[in-house]
Structure 1
Amino acid sequence: MPRNDAELSRSALVAKRFGARAAQYDEHALLQRESAGRLAAFIAANGGLPAQDLVAEIGCGTGLLTAQLAPLCQRYLATDIAPEMLERCRARLGHLPQLSFAVRDGEQAAFAEAPAAMVSNLAAQWFQDPVAGLCRLAGLTPRLAFAVPLSGSFPEWRQAFAAMGREPGLLPLPEESTLRQALCALPGRNAYFETATHVIRYADARAFADSFRNIGADQPRPGYRPGPIRPVLKRFAAGMDATALVLYGLVTEVI
């Protein structure tokens, strides 16, 4: 049995970190809340979801997207890799009769009944291979809608570390061009995209760093070794804008 984080698989570590922060997630998930609203609007503007057939959500978390989409469907399955997150979602939305819940690793998710549509908000970046993972999900359903943060996000933080001759511990994110090309190349599928910039204001650098820790998203990139960051803290002592680039995508079966 694993004794520490270093011995856990990537998926087990993600589940552990997010599960430990489930109770405080809603308070600190500012980007996730914004992207949930944007993704719901993107879905509505591009044909919506099937009203009667099964819709499955990958990485529902505490239900920020679920709350917006489940009421529109007659059958909705909310899944998450962290049982604690799923229980927070159940506590919020379990009164909806059309909603069911299941613990699933989104990258390896399998379903007894193929969903007529799948949705995912800021979850695929935690896959071992986000591009391959999203391509796999697109093959499991006639309609996949997702939001995923892109490489190039948080340039303010990266530039502050570059000024010290270092790289931050931020997890690598998928390249937009690579993701678009892979999804557009799927046989029998059409793909539509929209890229949005989200700017979140933080009181200072510490608040930005804590925003990752407070939702369980503080897993660093492989090989990262923390070091003193006093110049970074000083640089953003009066406040910090953090810019996230998010790709909103819809992959549909060719009829």
Structure 2
Amino acid sequence: MTAPRERVGRAFAAAPDYDGHARVQRDVAQDLAARITALDLPERPRILEIGCGTGFLTQALAGLGGDWLVTDLAPEMLQRCRARLGEAVRHRFAVLDGEYGTPEGGPFDLICSSLAVQWFDDAPAALSRIAGWLAPGGHLMVSTLGPGSFAEWRTAHDPEGLAPGTPRFAPIADFGAGVAAVERRAEHHDSPLAFLHALKAIGAQTAEEDHRPLSPGQLRRVMARFAQNGCNVTYEVVTCHLKSRN
């Protein structure tokens, strides 16, 4: 993924109605939480969350207990997550670039992230580095997006010989043996404009750095083809699970 991280951070910080439009993101966080609660974690785990957003995963894991370090690239998202959870002694909040930064307070028994690492420059390499922050026997479990995501929007560009600005997500094979599951989730939108507005509302409109914006005419033709195909988009959700040795 090659969208500049400063632009990614600004887009999510300015997301006007993330919770109202992030239906798939909420469901994915719930499913990831169910996987995490089934892990063999210590009674009081030390937990790091990367890319908390507004707190879908953090809230879904509220019953897990433990000592939390909740992080995000955007300070505004941290504030929204804190507001969702309320003040809790076990939750600490910090701005962190999960790909290039280093958190305080490790090692961790659990490192988790829901639909955030797809914005990294090299998600597979980053996960390998992040796994080094695990305590012996610790778990790294994240959900991310695979290259099959938004296939319908890309297909609408093909007859025009155009490339969409949607990110080029890492191939699933690049995550190696860490891939625990691959699932596809469909989302329907009432119109092409509704799809584009939803992307902006959740801060996910940031294009690839080398993307050339479409002309108004090109965009109209792409949107018309997208509408002909039903205004549906697919999210290819990849769950990765790495465990450190005891």
TM-score of the pair, normalised by structure 2: 0.89
Residue matched to 1:14 = 8
Structure 1 Cα separation of the partners of residues 26 and 42 of structure 2:
23
Aligned residues: 236
Residue matched to 1:94 = 86
Structure 1 Cα separation of the partners of residues 43 and 7 of structure 2:
35
Structure 1 Cα separation of the partners of residues 40 and 52 of structure 2:
18
Moved more, 100-109 or 79-88: 100-109
Q: 1:70 to 1:78 in 2, by over 3 A?
A: farther
Q: 1:144 to 1:136 in 2, by over 3 A?
A: same
- 1:246 counterpart = 2:237: yes
Residue matched to 1:226 = 213
Runs of 4+ in 1 over 3 A off after TM superposition: 48-51, 236-239
- 1:153 counterpart = 2:149: yes
Secondary structure of 2:182's match? strand
Q: Which amino acid aligns with 1:206?
A: L
Residue matched to 1:5 = none
Gapped regions of structure 2 (runs ≥ 5):
none
Q: Is the 8 A contact 1:49 1:73 kept in 2?
A: no
Describe how 1:40-79 pairs up with structure 2 within 5 A.
40-45=33-38, 47=39, 49-79=41-71
Structure 1 Cα separation of the partners of residues 161 and 224 of structure 2:
16
Larger RCO: Structure 1 or Structure 2 (Cα < 8 Å, ≥ 6 residues apart)? 2
- 1:168 counterpart = 2:164: yes
Q: Which amino acid aligns with 1:62?
A: T
Structure 2 Cα separation of the partners of residues 14 and 49 of structure 1:
33
Residue matched to 2:225 = 235
Residue matched to 2:75 = 83
Residue matched to 1:26 = 19
Q: 1:241 to 1:48 in 2, by over 3 A?
A: farther
Secondary structure of 2:104's match? coil
Q: Is the 8 A contact 2:146 2:238 kept in 1?
A: yes
Q: Is the 8 A contact 1:50 1:73 kept in 2?
A: no
Q: 1:234 to 1:48 in 2, by over 3 A?
A: farther
Structure 1 Cα separation of the partners of residues 41 and 75 of structure 2:
26
Q: Which amino acid aligns with 1:90?
A: R
Q: 2:175 aligns with which of 172, 179, 190?
A: 179
- 1:144 counterpart = 2:144: no
Q: Is the 8 A contact 1:29 1:215 kept in 2?
A: yes
Q: 1:104 aligns with which of 80, 92, 96?
A: 96
Q: Is the 8 A contact 1:39 1:147 kept in 2?
A: yes
Gapped regions of structure 1 (runs ≥ 5):
1-8, 185-190
Q: Which amino acid aligns with 2:69?
A: L
Structure 2 Cα separation of the partners of residues 68 and 76 of structure 1:
13
Structure 2 Cα separation of the partners of residues 12 and 229 of structure 1:
26
Structure 2 Cα separation of the partners of residues 201 and 51 of structure 1:
41
* Fraction of identical pairs, as percent: 37
